[in-house]
Amino acid sequence: MHNTKSTIVVLALAAIAVTLQVTVEGVDVRVEHDKAFDFKAVRTWAWNPEGPGDVKMARTQDDDPEAMKRKVEPTLLDAVATETTRRGLQQAASEPDLILTYYLLLGTNMTAQTMGQFLPATTAWGLPPFAQATQSLKVMNQGSLVLDLSARGVVVWRGVAQAKIEIGAEDKKREALLREGVRDLLRRYPPKQ
């Protein structure tokens, strides 16, 4: 009897750990929209005629945004076409209700904590002064996918998906992350009004 309870507790803790892992490594999504725009009337969309989007990189001096664009754009275009169809929008050859533009932003983010940084300006309560020393340093590659939907030259809906990215990640993992970002963003279209 005691063994069964221990097994159940261990399985429950493992399930919680897996859930937390997914939450930490998942895609963070934010969406904003023009509250005055009538999304109910929208039926069609098309890519921006000046080009579907752009890739901006700020990681190293050796970054090649054009090479990255050639690598990710086919997946991105396919994922957007699939998800917009699921949302009831049809891709139009001319005169669409909305123009879609993507931006893929790849950069590096760094956070640091130093010993004593959370102490008040004076240490009147008895701690001797000490030199600050870095206790925690975290450098990560981060990517953001921005999808803009415009009507008559004005952005009426913007979604931003952010995730941590491994530079040496396999193409399949990167593609899956990109598709997840598009899916999570477009799940929030149309906005609830």
The CATH number of the domain holding residue 89 is 3.30.160
> Does any domain span residue 104?
yes
pLDDT at 115 over 50: yes
> Does any domain span residue 61?
yes
> Does any domain span residue 163?
yes
Q: Using one digit for the tens of pLDDT, what is the confidence trace for 34-85? A: 999 999 999 999 999 999 999 888 766 787 889 889 989 999 999 999 999 9
> Does any domain span residue 3?
no
Domain of residue 51 covers 27-186
Q: Which residue has the higher pLDDT, 40 or 128?
A: 40
pLDDT at residue 32, rounded to an integer: 95
How far CA 155 is from CA of 23, 84, 88, 131, in Å, comes to: 30, 17, 20, 49
> Domain count of the chain?
1
Tokens 């030199």 belong to residue: 131
> Does any domain span residue 107?
yes
> Does any domain span residue 14?
no
In angstroms, the CA 134 to CA 15 distance is 34
- Which is nearest to 84 in space by CA: 103, 71, 70, 102? 102
Return the number of other C-beta atoms located less than 10 Å from residue 34's C-beta: 15
- The greatest distance separating any two alpha carbons of the chain, rounded to the nearest whole angstrom, comes to 73
- Average pLDDT of the residues of the chain: 78
> Does any domain span residue 119?
yes
The HSE-up count of residue 43 (CA atoms within 13 Å, CB side) is: 4
> Does any domain span residue 1?
no
Does the predicted TM-score (pTM) go above 0.85?
no
